[in-house]
Structure 1
């Protein structure tokens, strides 16, 4: 890992930075997709929901911080199970779900996302899981490239048509 940043586990003091990053992610998605909600609480309700998901489903949040201790990125992940998906073998229904990943703009392109995803992968392995899933908006080609660089490949694709 580069020496100009490090990845560490989330601590409660990270909540303001985590909320800013969750809000930044939502604002970016609002620019890409017209159906995204505009949050009026600076990401508070969503961040609280993520913290609950992490707590209830063997999850983790990892923070990226620069050498000076500034928060520069985050990833949230938790154990998920597609219990009702009878098209998948029962033993393959559990997976690690990456809920959010965000890197501040000035740090993008420096493998911060890759290091955050590696931390999520390690968490998934510690839970005995064999797969990690992540979603993205189809128009977000930068995220798609970053995820492919970290070993993700297409699995299921949903198409949409506006009426």
Structure 2
């Protein structure tokens, strides 16, 4: 649904020092963590207590929030990285959250549009993200927003996202 169709919808860059924004960030990320797409487990209490402060301490981090009136309904967390091939910054979209009550209303698209604007302001050459194969609704959102599988040469196939934990959660 276009932004004009819901005048109470507000998309903004998060201010980690604002207590309402910090609370929204933590509650939305916790809701995502408890969803099957986010692992099905709540955030640890120490994560909830420290997240906004830790993000604020990292100049490469930024977040976008969506509000319907006063209710926080969406979140995107991003981190600036660096593309050695382009010799320019890139922005990794790390978390995308839209509450179930507001899915299908193009909130995610509007948040990603602001992420793209901020990335362009930072001089980023691209946006990156990962999505679980089973999260088809998120994959459709990313495709609508212009994301595609990463590959350099089709003969080498698409890139895979891998991880190696260095400490337990």
Does the 8 A contact of 1:58 with 1:78 survive in 2?
Answer: yes
Q: 1:40 to 1:18 in 2, by over 3 A?
A: closer
Quote the residue 2:41 is aligned against. Answer: 38
Offset of residue 69 of structure 1: 1.8
Q: More relative contact order in 1 or in 2 (CA 8 Å, sep 6+)?
A: 1
Quote the residue 1:74 is aligned against. Answer: 75
1:80 counterpart SS class: strand
Report the TM-score, using the length of structure 2 for normalisation.
0.74
**Mapped pair 1:62 → 2:58:** no
Report the TM-score, using the length of structure 1 for normalisation.
0.77
The CA deviation string for residues 52-79 of structure 1, in whole angstroms up to 9 with x for no partner, is 356424332111111x221111111121
Distance 1:14 1:38 in 2: 22
Query: Structure 1 regions of 5+ residues with no counterpart?
Result: 83-87
Distance 1:159 1:80 in 2: 15
Does the 8 A contact of 2:28 with 2:72 survive in 1?
Answer: no
Aligned residues: 148
Offset of residue 159 of structure 1: 7.8
Distance 1:40 1:72 in 2: 18
**Mapped pair 1:111 → 2:101:** no
Does the 8 A contact of 1:7 with 1:62 survive in 2?
Answer: yes
RMSD: 2.6
